[in-house]
Structure 1
Amino acid sequence: MMEIKGKKALRHDWTKEELLEIYNKPLLELVYLAASVHREWHNPEEVQISTLLSVKTGGCPEDCSYCGQAARYHTDIKVQALLPTETVLAHAQKAKDSGSSRFCMAAAWREVRDNRDFDRIIEMVKGVNEMGLEVCCTLGMLTESQAQRLQEAGLYAYNHNLDTSEEFYDEIISTRRFDNRIETIKNVRKAGITVCSGGIIGLGEKPEDRISMLRTLANMEKHPESVPINALARVAGTPLEFLPKVDVWEMVRMIATARIVLPSSMVRLSAGRIEMNEVEQAWCFMAGANSIFTGERETLLVTPNPGVDEDMSMLSNLGLRPMVVKREAFCNSSL
């Protein structure tokens, strides 16, 4: 049996066989092991509250099979142009007042372009950074120079999910390559921005694909500081709308495995929470999840999500509290 020794186990050379051995452990043993690792690296009583706002919605030219924002699919999602800066900053302030320590802005773009819209994103980043929040963006593919501009504006983190394994990737997306995602993550690293990267389960993949995705993340030269674990949100009008709901124990297994092999990372219980009751979410926290997305609009981008009041009540019931991140607005010299 492989031995895990808490903080001494930070590794970047995992094999697929090792990860499968962990993933396939008896469930209670797996959760116990993950909870033990979690306590070595993190305060188990704290959960980071993050707010995600769609600042530009719909009309995306990509064909991600799970995404209701792809222009080619007929969904009920309304296209929304880039929000005014003052509107975004008002949402950020409200998120901070509600207990969020991270504010993430998402734009349904295939890639960032050097135009007025990107200039406006830069102003949004500066404004949110000045509030003392961890400011995050997810804007699609990014060049090294664009990442540098974001870093200079005060961007703390950039989200760019792998979505799934390299082997299964072409079954889900054809408009970009898996290597494109890796290249964007490298550009983010070069600019000194922290990385938020995870994936989605329930896309029709095999457990081996989930393991392969985690292996890619865990064997990076530097682990992503944040790893979102999403369950497929089945959006009507997308090619994956009729796939079955992800079983909660599959989520628990995935979160526990991520916690064990990425011990220093924040593991984010992301999409899919709306279909999980309080007890099921508690299992995810026990397995090592220590961050959630919440929001006043009760949406996660364009899919349903629990609201702030509901989440705060759940945390209170479980004896958990929002993580407090004390930071001043930072400049590029602090990264």
Structure 2
Amino acid sequence: MPIPLIIGAAAAAAGLYGAKKGISGALDHQAAKKTNSESEAIVREANQKVETRRESTNQSLEQYGQRKLRAFNGVIADFILTFEQLKNVEIVKSPELEKLTEQDFSQNPLTGLRQDYQALKDAGLGLGAGLSGGAALAFGAYNGTMLLATASTGTAISTLGGVAATNATLAWLGGGSLAAGGYGMAGGMIVLGGIVAGPALAVFGHILGNKGEQALNTALGNLEQAKTLRTESNIIADKLTAIGDVTKLADNTFSTISSHLRNAVHSLKKTIASQGTDFSSFSNEDKEVTYRTVKFAQLIKAMIDTPILDEQGNLVLSTQKRIKEIAVMAADQA
């Protein structure tokens, strides 16, 4: 008679084991669903953080690019037309400019600014013209040499917008994704600072597979990948913030110097109206007016020649220091 008892006991044990596995499987499914929801929340937050910083940085660069163009079509053009009226000017020999020349600035701002302005006109961006979003972005990010001309021939590029379109970082900043390849977030990470994105995320709102244990393992893997994405996204956001901060500093500094140059050109016009165009006959006071105008023109040229990003789309680390030095010089002359 013991055999039926043994069989019954075995069946009962199997039933209990099955019930336990069923309960365990249901709990695993529930845990997997909760874990996937957590992963999705992490990814959404990371994407939103980067997107917000991207939009802000893009706006700052475009604003700076537009400001530089307005200066070329305004105060810079006015300086060129006014200063080139003067005769017998020996600005480069004046001790008044020693501080600037020691800082490696051009000794003849008229020539450099005239070349830049001509290049802009050759590119179809002369008086009355504006910049598209991509062109403004590129004009804000790069210096004059990188955008406007080659050092040897002075040939202007055909379109500033093309520069933005062919640079992965600027394309991502301008559009939020990399159109050529559709990398999206991962592409942005690879572009900005050479960060290598982790494996493609597989975060799902439903449970994968039929087994609760398998679903839970998959969900835990998703969570780890989501956390990796969050870490990389924080780095990207910090890089974007750094670019934006330097751009805003450049924009404010450029605006201040433009105002100083505008006032100085106005004073120079009054000097020419009353004293004529022969610099050698100017009084010391009138020569000082000319010197001061040239100094601000040099500082404007220095700002134009200072890039925010390099050709690979990385922040130029020396730019912030250089802009601050230019700002101090402008304050000394104001």
TM, length-normalised to structure 2: 0.22
Q: Which has the higher contact order (CA 8 A, sep 6+)?
A: 2
Structure number having the greater strand percentage? 1
